[in-house]
Structure 1
Amino acid sequence: MSCWQTIQDYAFRSIGYGERLLPRSDFTLCEQFTLIGSGLIWNIYFGACALALGFFLATLVAMGKASDRPWIRRPADWFIFVFRGSPLFIQFFLAYFFFIQLKSVSGFFDPFTSAWAGALVVLFFNTSAYAGEIFYGALRSVPKGDLEAADAYGLAGWTKFRRVTWPTMLRLAWPSYTNEAIFLFHATTLVFFAGFPAFQQRGDALYYANYFATKTFNPFIPYPIVAFYFILLTLAVIMGFGLVNRRLNRHLAPQQRPKLKYRPQLIR
């Protein structure tokens, strides 16, 4: 089988298109690159959806933590504390057990016992907590001069927040939020180790890497392939967030615009 035929057969296998059976022996480098790349689709799905949904919840959590009303501030504080204070892997485990119990009560929760929905919920809440703390710090760092200028122009309430507070908060938080986005995509590999099952052997990148490592007893080929794909994914995230950062700072002179720099988070 040629490499092109392998790509046609397995490029989208992780989402249900192509060959149903995995190769059993005589694994080629092309098969490993193709199948692991196919599984990366799920990692991108987890990361992109969790970021897109978590961005809005993180904004609400940051606003809640900055509120003067205790009945709003304390739930936001506890939400951030719980999801930042507990390991992500334990959150996966507890969520799977919780959804299993709810499934026995109502069939509505049946999809949440699978990785595509249940693991996404965990990642959504986790990144919302981390991003919420980032946005809260940026919200507290908004220059008072900007707020006073908004008051002088007669801006108040939602208009003031939408036109002054929120854009300034995003500009201040964006570099740190970019690092959180990168870490989130890396954290999607933990879905493989969680209790959420992959549907019909349609797993993520680490699922296929583990399959090849188990069959060949050689982890030094599939796992570096996973690392290679995630390095490319990280570069794509940096480029995408860099474009947004340029948009947020478009009012500044080119030499004054802050540039994004990737800083690996060795300890989170």
Structure 2
Amino acid sequence: MRTCAESLSEYGLRALGREFGATLLPKGADISLCDQIVLIGSGMIWNLYFAVLAVALGFGLATAVALAKASPIRALRAPANAFIFVFRGSPLFIQFFFAYEAFQQLPRVTGTLDLGLVELSVSTSWLTRAWLGALIVLFLNTSAYTAEIFYGALRSVPRGDLEAADAYGLSGWARFRRIVWPTMLRLAWPSYTNEAIFLFHATTLVFFSGFPAWQQSGDALYYASYFAQQTFNPFVAYPIIAAYFILATLGIIALYGAINRRLNRHLPREARPKLRYRPQFIR
């Protein structure tokens, strides 16, 4: 039986691939509690990877889509409304399967890039890997939900703030950057925090999607399911993954709470809105 130090050495980065740890996973009677804690924690690297990149990239796209939806120009407003409707109107689980099948239908090589001295082939096979294909789905999904949140905040910017900006001679980009943008973020931040938490929890759906784990480089739920099958005892592995997610959720709440206090630092302490986590049971 391995010690906890040996488990950490062999499986600490195992989720990144076989070259980062033991070639084979522990089986049967060789599985210890430390093995389960370490390997499931290793799988959390992928959940954090999906969540951090999807939220970070989605923040920028969501802002652009929200501005497009609020635009008086129909050519901008219509695509933004369609994008939000499609990704908010269909289940995330179905989006994973649809994207995987669509990526599978793409030819392995879509073309070549002639650089003069060398000619590069542009391959699309990497789109069927979870590290990119699933990330694209999560990125688009959270962008749509966040765009709707930001749009609602844009519509809620107090008219008095806009009139004050006009009185100071602010217009165009300066008005947006100094008045509209910070006010929008301040109003949207509590709801945006809940979206970030939900997106993090939704990364577990990658395990059930069509995107396969490559060389056993799976997420936390992949290893929790593996241990439940090997030990015939789901009451150890699944509580471990639940504990990891609870700790990560507390970290998200603390981080977003600090940003919320920063956004509202100009308000009196008693008037500053406090973050409240409201879990979404149906999406």
Q: TM-score range by the shorter chain?
A: over 0.9
Deviations 1:73-105 (A, max 9, x none): 010001000000001011000101111111435
Residue in 1 that maps onto 2:78: 74
Q: Could you state the TM-score of these two structures normalised by the residue count of structure 2?
A: 0.93
Report the equivalent of 2:201. 186
Matched residue of 1:181: which SS? helix
Confirm or deny that 1:51 pairs with 2:52. no
Match of 2:259 in 1: 244
Q: In 2, distance between residues paired with 1:259 and 1:8?
A: 41
The answer to whether 1:256 aligns with 2:271 is yes
1:142 corresponds to which of 153, 157, 175 = 157
C-alpha deviation, 1:242, in angstroms = 0.6
Q: Aligned partners of 1:111 and 1:166: how far apart in 2?
A: 36
CA distance in 1, matches of 2:189, 2:243: 26
Q: Structure 1: how far apart are the matches of 2:21 and 2:165? A: 57
C-alpha deviation, 1:25, in angstroms: 2.0
Q: Does 1:21 align with 2:36?
A: no
CA-atom RMSD, angstroms? Answer: 1.0
Supply the distance in 1 between the matched residues of 2:22 and 2:264 (Cα, whole angstroms): 47
5+ residue gaps, structure 1, are: none
Q: Write the distance in 2 (CA, Å) between the matches of 1:266 and 1:97.
A: 27
Counterpart position of 1:118: 133
**AA partner of residue 21 (structure 2):** G
TM-score normalised by structure 1 residue count: 0.98
Higher helix fraction: Structure 1 or Structure 2? 1
1:20 positional shift: 2.1
Listed as ranges, the gaps of 5+ residues in structure 2 are 111-121
SS of equivalent residue, structure 1 residue 68: coil
Change (3 A) 1:103 1:213: farther
Distance 1:12 1:155 in 2: 52
Tell me: CA distance 1:235–1:67, structure 2 relative to 1, closer, same or farther (3 Å): same
Q: Tell me how far 1:108 sits from its aligned partner.
A: 2.5
8 Å contact from structure 2 (residues 162, 179) kept in 1: yes
CA contact 2:108–2:123 (8 Å) conserved in 1: no
Q: Distance in 1 between matches of 2:263 and 2:137?
A: 29
Between 76-85 and 208-217, the greater mean CA deviation after superposition: 208-217
Residue number in structure 2 paired with 1:128 = 143
Alignment partners' CA distance in 1, 2:261 and 2:213: 38
Deviates most, 216-225 or 231-240: 216-225
Q: Decide whether the 8 Å contact of 2:10 with 2:22 is kept in 1.
A: yes
Aligned residue identity for 1:7: L
* CA shift digits 1:119-163 (9 cap, x unpaired): 000000000000000000000000000000001100000110011
2:231 maps to what in 1? 216
AA partner of residue 169 (structure 2): G
AA at the equivalent of 1:5: E
Query: Which residue number in structure 2 is paired with residue 11 of structure 1?
Result: 12
**What does residue 174 of structure 1 align with?**
189
Distance 1:8 1:196 in 2: 28
Determine whether 1:157 maps to 2:151. Answer: no
User: SS at 1:127's partner residue?
Assistant: helix
Alignment partner of 2:124: what SS? helix
Report the counterpart of residue 119 of structure 2 in structure 1.
none
Runs of 4+ in 1 over 2 A off after TM superposition: 103-108
